Amino acid sequence: MGIAPMRSGNNDYENIRRPHVIVFDVNETLSDMSPMEERFTDVGAPAHLAATWFAGLLRDGFALTAVGSTARMADIGSSLLRSRMAGLSLTCDLGEAVDHIMKGFAGLDLHPDVVEGVGALCRLGIRLVTLTNGSTDLARGLFERAGILGSFERLLSVEAAGAWKPAPKAYAYAMSQCDVQPREAMLVAVHPWDIEGAGRAGLGTAWLDRSGESYPDHFRPADLQAETLTALAERLESIE
Amino acid sequence: MGIAPMRSGNNDYENIRRPHVIVFDVNETLSDMSPMEERFTDVGAPAHLAATWFAGLLRDGFALTAVGSTARMADIGSSLLRSRMAGLSLTCDLGEAVDHIMKGFAGLDLHPDVVEGVGALCRLGIRLVTLTNGSTDLARGLFERAGILGSFERLLSVEAAGAWKPAPKAYAYAMSQCDVQPREAMLVAVHPWDIEGAGRAGLGTAWLDRSGESYPDHFRPADLQAETLTALAERLESIE
């Protein structure tokens, strides 16, 4: 239940194989970003600005990627907050408000299915790594607080790749670091744009559908779809 | 008043010259998109979803641009609405809701300063064109309803360029269509990512600061900044 191969994925349903390496996206895929809304209301900004801001952060990061440039996610995040909140009536200084919101990233927790799901995947003998458009420190903090850091072979960031996902260079960097071919790896993400990039780069793909939204038509579908990481682990256990 | 050269732009303040061609971005730069919020509330969705959706539309368009692909803006817009609103309790069918919102694009009006600003720029003998990530039909409709279509030499879309702005190919296409060198042209946009792309492609740039937001640090600043198109026209009249 809650897991299905998606229509016309990269691979036929029968051809999906258990990957040697799982490459996890981090923000929203593993971390629950919903407490960020409270950070906005703490400083007098509307809660819904959190979603618009994060979409804008990715929009601007991808714009830089499209022109062959790059920037740190935290820098874009802060800069966009300063720009966007400049016209708002806040309960504190703009600088303090930006700091308060950005510090929220460091205090996030994992989604409730992650600890069990990571354990199950680990027991299958699959090598687990992360590849984030943010910093590896955030992933390390998330896993340390949850006590599962030891389940991960390595934590990677596109900061060392010179290009954000979904650019091919980002996935190629991860493959090189793990010393595997793309076909031996599977990206797991909640973001369809990440599925698109990883699929183009030759990786298998699994879309975590946590929000109840449907998969958008403008990106290539994932090879697998699951509502939780535990459901994905069960599915991968059933295939070779 | 309301116009200033920006810090450390592509050109020194003294070196800014009147362009032979102005390339206008269309959505939000010329069209007032605020009525889109009402389209969302019409179907029972929250008004603030309009901003998140449009940021997400650009995010996904730029993700495709970053992997060397492209799609029609209207297709991404519809597909993303279907995906995003799938979990909402709407006052009508999901399909009807998507149609109702997308049709809102075709009924938008120009910002109040545009007719006068375009007239003033036209009288300066500057050739006026548009370059949109959307369709040329939307720009044509906007100008026809306002009676200023005749002021524009041509209406261009990245659909014919094979890549969305801010990719270099999009601006190169416009330069080729206008048969001018990038240094003879100036992009006018409200979007900092468009300023970044055009500046990299060698065009002059003017940022329209309609929202009261500050310019974000992660993009290169524009050569000129103005609150309205009429203020920009006055500034360009004062230089050669």
CA distances from B182 to A42, B47, B202 (A): 46, 39, 5
- Measured between CA atoms, the residue of chain A closest to residue B76 is A218
CB contacts of A66 in chain B (<8 Å) are: 62, 65-66, 164, 166-167, 197
Q: Give the residue extent of every domain in chain B.
A: 3-32+109-237, 36-107
For domain A3-32+109-237, give the CATH number.
Answer: 3.40.50.1000
Mind telling me how many Å the CA of B211 is from chain A's nearest CA?
Answer: 8
Cα separation, B31 vs B97, in Å, equals 22
Mind telling me how many Å the CA of B149 is from chain A's nearest CA?
Answer: 30
What is the structure's pLDDT at A4? 55
Q: Are B157 and B132 in contact (CB under 8 A)?
A: yes
Specify the DSSP class assigned to residue B220: P
Q: Of A40, A54, A226, which is closest to residue A133 (Cα–Cα)?
A: A54
- Domain B3-32+109-237 and domain B36-107 have a common topology: no
Which fold, A36-105? DNA polymerase; domain 1 (1.10.150)
For domain B36-107, give the CATH number.
Answer: 1.10.150.240
Which of A63, A84, A214 is facing B83, going by the closest CB pair? A214
- CB–CB contact A67 B197 (8 Å): yes
Q: DSSP readout, chain A?
A: --EEPPTT-SS-GGG----SEEEE--TTTTEE-TTHHHHHHHTT--TTHHHHHHHHHHHHHHHHHHTT----HHHHHHHHHHHHHTTS--SS-HHHHHHHHHHHHTT-EE-TTHHHHHHHHHHTT-EEEEEESS-HHHHHHHHHHHT-GGG-SEEEEGGGTTS-TTSHHHHHHHHHHHT--GGGEEEEES-HHHHHHHHHTT-EEEEE--S-PPPPTTSPPPSEEESSHHHHHHHHHT--
- CB–CB contact A80 B216 (8 Å): yes
Confidence check on the interface: ipTM exceeds 0.90, yes or no:
yes
CB contacts of A64 in chain B (<8 Å) are: 196, 218-219
User: pTM for the complete prediction?
Assistant: 0.94
pLDDT of chain B along its 240 residues, tens only? 345 555 444 444 557 889 999 999 999 999 999 999 999 999 999 999 999 999 999 999 999 999 999 999 999 999 999 999 998 999 999 999 999 999 999 999 999 999 999 999 999 999 999 999 999 999 999 999 999 999 999 999 999 999 999 999 999 999 999 999 999 999 999 999 999 999 999 999 999 999 888 999 999 999 999 999 999 999 999 987
pLDDT digits (tens, 9 = 90+) for B146-169: 999 999 999 999 999 999 999 999
Token match 């906005």: residue?
A40
Q: Are A123 and A236 in contact (CB under 8 A)?
A: no
Cα separation, A133 vs A73, in Å, equals 7
What is the structure's pLDDT at B240? 78
pLDDT of chain A along its 240 residues, tens only? 345 555 444 444 557 889 999 999 999 999 999 999 999 999 999 999 999 999 999 999 999 999 999 999 999 999 999 999 998 999 999 999 999 999 999 999 999 999 999 999 999 999 999 999 999 999 999 999 999 999 999 999 999 999 999 999 999 999 999 999 999 999 999 999 999 999 999 999 999 999 888 999 999 999 999 999 999 999 999 987
